[in-house]
Amino acid sequence: MKNILFIHQSAELYGSDKTLLLLLKHLDKANFNSVVILPNDGPLKTELEKENIKVVIAPVLKLYRKMFSPGNILKFFVDIKEAFKALDILNKEYKFDLIYSNTLAVLLGMIYSRKRQIKHIWHVHEIIVHPKIIASTFPKLLNKYADLIICNSYSTMKNLTDRTKMLEHKSVVIYNGIESTMYNEIESKEDFGFASQDLLLTLVGRISRLKGHKWLLSTFINELSKNLEVQLLFVGSPVENQEYYLEEIEEIILDNKLSNRVKIIPFTKDLSKIWSITDIAIMPSTEAESFGLVAVEAMLAKKPVIGSNHGGLTEIIVNNETGFLVEPNNETKLAEAISKLIENPELRKQFGENGYQRAINEFSVATYVNKFEKLLLEL
């Protein structure tokens, strides 16, 4: 039996949260005992505890932009002391064989594993390009403080190894998996304020700078709004302290008198209703996604997917087979891809079927978990 300490940055149920939950639900409990550190309470804690997984709330030494102010630096060292106290109590009980840090945003695993001489796995879910000092620093930290680096795509790994070539020998790629029984519920568009004949373009994801809400909204206003049956649905909430992104989008909607055609609903962990009313899924990321779990979720729901032609999305969406890949920030190209699918229901259906088969074949839970178990046992 291997005892593994998992350290994660949040208690929500977005991409990296979901992948951690999926892994811990399906790990062979005869071989692995999991203990999880989260920074706060939330839906992820609830779901983990349903699986009888021990969850402890403690500082995870999360990286954030304002942490380098004098007051926050002092807090960082106070948090280190508090976190070490909590982890030492757990380590005395479980004698951890491995520490697993989920995302680059948590620094506790890096520090604690070195101090207590425990092997450390760092699972990278980010492609960091800027600020340049952060982008260049993390590969060095990974090289020094990780015994094994798991990347969620080849795009993620390349971003690291291009900066620090020595990472090649201890980096592996494991694509995120997804459960194939998630999207069975049927909902009506009227329940969301749309008409039954409307054609719905859906963007699921945090409302933030890089998810492309403004690009899609501008494309809709400038290129697609004359087709009165085409509507937009944004599903997601802003990052804490970045609510101004949501406010800016709401202002654009109001200024263009589109409140009846563009709707925003907060994050929901149950996306089955959302996908059941969606006609075309859009992932217009303005910066490279490290993976793009939403694209796989949409494919599993048999929806055609349009995504930006960079990062991990290029490893998920097969252009002109499961959807379209378009040049980032190009309104004309995005409008052309959307229009092709609007005008061709059979193509939407074909892409949806192709995407479903690809999701089942390439991104299954079994493949995802089996690869992890093999690595954990070897390490």
pLDDT at res. 267: 85
Residue among 204, 218, 227, 228 nearest 331 (CA):
218
Same fold flag, 2-177+364-378 and 189-362:
yes
pLDDT at res. 66: 63
User: Strand order in 323-326's β-sheet?
Assistant: 262-265, 230-235, 199-204, 280-283, 305-308, 323-326
- CA-CA-CA-CA dihedral for 360, 377, 157, 151, to nearest 10: 50
DSSP 236-291: --BPTT-HHHHHHHHHHHHHTT-TTTEEEE---S--HHHHHH-SEEEE--SS--S-
pLDDT at res. 69: 66
Residue 216 to residue 369: CA distance in whole angstroms: 35
pLDDT at res. 37: 98
Residue with tokens 């520090």: 111
Question: Which amino acid, 98?
Answer: L
pLDDT at res. 65: 62
- Residue 240 CB contacts under 8 Å (≥ 6 apart), including other chains: none
> Phi, psi (5° rounding) for residue 124?
-95, 120
Residue 80 to residue 206: CA distance in whole angstroms: 29
- Residue 227 CB contacts under 8 Å (≥ 6 apart), including other chains: 199, 342
Q: What is the pTM of this model?
A: 0.91
The two most distant CA atoms of the chain are separated, in Å, by: 66
Please give the CATH superfamily to which domain 2-177+364-378 belongs.
Glycogen Phosphorylase B; (3.40.50.2000)
Are 170 and 146 within 8 A, CB to CB? yes
Show the low-confidence residues of the chain (pLDDT under 50): none
Using a 10 angstrom Cβ sphere, with 0-12 exposed, 13-18 middle and 19 or more buried, the burial of residue 41 is exposed
Bridge partners of 4? 34, 98
Residue 364 to residue 109: CA distance in whole angstroms: 28
- Structural domain spans, the chain: 2-177+364-378, 189-362
pLDDT at res. 71: 67
pLDDT at res. 180: 78
Instruction: Let me know if domain 189-362 sits in CATH 3.40.50.2000.
Output: yes
pLDDT at res. 333: 98
